[in-house]
């Protein structure tokens, strides 16, 4: 009796997780293939041991909350070439073993920063051929183990360098086909790409679309001289912020005494050159910022003196180096003039000595001729 009941329970469980009628399943490899079946939603009654799920070439339009809760051990999830326009922030909740995710060839405009939060095993992410305007900088913690990231053919105009800095295991990156705006805010990407390529990374071309004078130019081949104005405006903006903050602090000091807490003041300054001109993420600074400026990150007020000291030290060092260069040029010129003077002096002495010898010979011959005469 007990054996019969156990068999009935096992049969019921196996039937409850039978292969969906729209798909083909391989129980040995634990692969479920639902490609090109005209599906509008994620199929149900998937076996919980499924490790690979292929849903390409369907008509799926959205992914709801915990859309894949039936298959917590899935490693490969392919949703490419559908009509996905929205993805719930908790759509992938529970997929702690996910390694390969493809959402390519869909209609995604944005991704929530919480989407990949619980997933730390992801190594391949393909978001190419969508309409993405950017990626949340906070998503970087979930992408630390990525070896491939596909962002080609979206609507990216810039990319947050802080996000890229977290991709320490990245081997290949696709960025082509985006309308990159090659202004000051893209210097961070340019610098990161140089470091990434130096370390052996693989990336396709990044062609500028804006401004007009840089259209179709490869960002990696654009000389840094074209970004000189960025550095100038950034330093002007930095000093203006320091001066404004100092005036504000003094005014509040007269009004409120010494009760204001130091953390209540924040300084909005550009980040260091090579970092501050990076992507479009981060906090915004107060006041109007020139178009060529990056969005500012907040820094404590107690750093303003350190920042000013570093900049002033750099200026002083530059002046000292210039003075040393001038002194070296002057020394070389002086040495050349003295060498020429010594050569001419020596030549004149030799000429005078030769003339003196000729006169002595003539004087010796004259008495002899007189004696003979």
Q: Are strands 86-87 and 172-174 parallel, antiparallel or unpaired?
A: unpaired
Q: Are strands 31-33 and 62-63 parallel, antiparallel or unpaired?
A: unpaired
Average pLDDT over residues 303-309: 71
Asked if residue 321 belongs to a domain, the reply is no
Asked if residue 102 belongs to a domain, the reply is yes
DSSP 48-90: TT--EEE--SS---EE-TTTTTT-TT--EEE--SS---EE-TT
Q: Are strands 100-102 and 124-126 parallel, antiparallel or unpaired?
A: parallel
Asked if residue 320 belongs to a domain, the reply is no
Which of 177 and 349 is assigned the larger pLDDT?
177
| pLDDT value of residue 266 | 39
| pLDDT value of residue 169 | 93
Read off the pLDDT of residues 43-88 as tens digits, 9 standing for 90 and up. Answer: 998 999 999 999 999 999 999 999 999 999 999 999 999 999 999 9
Read off the pLDDT of residues 240-268 as tens digits, 9 standing for 90 and up. Answer: 455 545 555 555 555 555 444 444 443 33
| pLDDT value of residue 250 | 59
Helices then strands, counting H and E runs in the chain, come out as: 5, 15
Asked if residue 275 belongs to a domain, the reply is no
Per-residue pLDDT band for 16 (boundaries 50, 70, 90) equals very low
For the chain, the straight-line distance linking the first and the last C-alpha, in angstroms and rounded, comes to 166
Asked if residue 370 belongs to a domain, the reply is no
DSSP state of 31: E
pLDDT higher than threshold 80 for residue 27: yes
Read off the pLDDT of residues 167-190 as tens digits, 9 standing for 90 and up. Answer: 999 999 999 999 999 888 888 898
Q: Domain tally for the chain?
A: 1
| pLDDT value of residue 63 | 95
| Euclidean distance between CA atoms 135 and 132, whole angstroms | 8
Could you tell me what percent of the chain has a pLDDT over 90?
40
pLDDT higher than threshold 70 for residue 40: yes
| pLDDT value of residue 242 | 56
Residue 103, domain CATH: 3.80.10.10
Average pLDDT over residues 101-123: 92
Instruction: Classify each residue of 267-296 as buried b or exposed e, where b means 16 or more C-beta atoms within 10 Å of its C-beta.
Output: bbbbbeeebbbbbbbbeebeeebeebbbbb
Q: What share of the chain is helix, strand, coil (3-state, %, to 5)?
A: 40, 10, 45
DSSP state of 104: -
- Which residue pairs, CB below 8 angstroms and at least 24 apart, start in 76-79? 76/51, 76/52, 76/100, 77/53, 77/101, 77/102, 78/53, 78/54, 78/102, 79/55, 79/103, 79/106
pLDDT higher than threshold 50 for residue 353: yes
| pLDDT value of residue 362 | 63
Asked if residue 262 belongs to a domain, the reply is no
Asked if residue 99 belongs to a domain, the reply is yes
Which of 293 and 73 is assigned the larger pLDDT?
73
Average pLDDT across the chain, whole number = 78
If you compute the radius of gyration of the chain from its CA atoms, what whole number of angstroms results?
37
| pLDDT value of residue 184 | 82
Which of 52 and 292 is assigned the larger pLDDT?
52
pLDDT higher than threshold 50 for residue 139: yes
Range name among 214-223, 320-329, 338-347, 351-360 with the lowest pLDDT average: 351-360
188: containing domain: 17-226
pLDDT higher than threshold 50 for residue 11: no
How many residues would you count in the chain? Answer: 373
Asked if residue 243 belongs to a domain, the reply is no
| Euclidean distance between CA atoms 283 and 160, whole angstroms | 12
């Amino acid at each position: 009796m007990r054996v019969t009941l156990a068999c009935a329970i096992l049969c019921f469980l196996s039937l409850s997780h039978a292969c969906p009628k729209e798909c083909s399943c391989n129980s040995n490899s634990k692969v479920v293939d639902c490609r090109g079946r005209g599906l509008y939603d994620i199929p149900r009654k998937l076996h919980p041991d499924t490790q690979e799920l292929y849903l390409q070439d369907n008509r799926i339009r959205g992914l709801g909350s915990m859309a894949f809760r039936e298959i917590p051990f899935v490693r490969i999830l392919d949703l490419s070439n559908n009509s996905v326009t929205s993805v719930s922030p908790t759509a992938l909740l529970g997929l702690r073993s996910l390694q390969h995710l493809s959402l390519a060839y869909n209609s995604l405009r944005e991704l929530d920063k919480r989407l990949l939060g619980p997933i730390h095993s992801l190594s391949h992410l393909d978001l190419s051929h969508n309409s993405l305007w950017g990626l949340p900088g906070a998503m970087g913690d979930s992408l630390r183990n990525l070896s491939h990231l596909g962002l080609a053919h979206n609507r990216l105009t810039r990319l947050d360098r802080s996000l890229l800095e977290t991709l320490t295991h990245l081997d290949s990156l696709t960025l082509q086909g985006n309308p990159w705006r090659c202004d000051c805010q893209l210097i961070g990407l340019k610098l990161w790409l140089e470091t990434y390529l130096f370390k052996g990374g693989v990336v396709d071309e990044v062609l500028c679309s804006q401004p007009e004078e840089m259209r179709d130019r490869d960002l990696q081949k654009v000389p840094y001289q074209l970004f000189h104005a960025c550095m100038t405006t950034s330093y002007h903006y930095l000093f203006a912020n320091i001066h404004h903050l100092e005036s504000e602090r003094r005014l509040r000091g007269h009004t409120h005494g010494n009760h204001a807490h130091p953390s209540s003041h924040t300084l909005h300054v550009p980040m260091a050159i090579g970092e501050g001109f990076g992507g479009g993420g981060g906090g915004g600074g107060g006041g109007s910022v020139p178009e060529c400026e990056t969005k500012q990150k907040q820094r404590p007020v107690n750093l303003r003196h350190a920042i000013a000291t570093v900049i002033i030290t750099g200026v002083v060092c530059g002046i000292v180096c210039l003075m040393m260069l001038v002194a070296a040029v002057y020394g070389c010129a002086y040495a050349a003039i003295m060498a020429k003077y010594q050569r001419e002096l020596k030549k004149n002495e030799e000429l005078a000595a030769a003339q003196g010898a000729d006169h002595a010979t003539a004087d010796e011959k004259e008495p002899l001729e007189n004696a003979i005469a």
